[in-house]
Amino acid sequence: MIAKAIIETDEDHDYVFQEILLKRYSILRNGKESTPSNVIEKAIDLHATRIIGSSGFQKCIQWLWRGWIAQDLNDPMQFTPYKNMADKNFWVHFDHDRIRAPRYQNMFQVLISVLYLTLYTISINTGM
């Protein structure tokens, strides 16, 4: 309940996304450091439905899905906002950094699958 209240009450989205939800932390257990993970990964792994259902969490997931926030190329532990988010020019949004977003990866996989099925169907129907 405390985590949900913190996520929902803070109005500074950049701070909530960068410093609370997406910053990776590791835990020391018996003198051994665990694999770094962020709040989003932990909440999903632990099925923390109250945190997952919070509006700030859902907004962060939506921003990640759309490519408005992406991992930094130089430091994968950091996430950076997309610089041309408000630009209305169509071709500006075909940025190689943005193509790494899950939304566009999913679209690309669907396109390749449809193309493969089309070519496969054509080759089977024109065969012997």
The total number of structural domains in the chain stands at 1
Residue 28's DSSP bridge partners are 33
Tell me the residue range of the domain where 49 lies: 2-126
pLDDT tens string 25-79? 888 889 899 888 888 888 899 998 888 888 888 988 898 888 888 888 788 788 8
pLDDT tens string 95-125? 776 777 888 889 899 999 999 999 999 999 9
Enumerate residues 6+ apart whose C-beta is below 8 A from 40.
Answer: 21, 22, 57, 60, 61, 64
Does the pLDDT of residue 86 top 80, yes or no?
Answer: no
User: What is the pTM for the complete model shown?
Assistant: 0.71
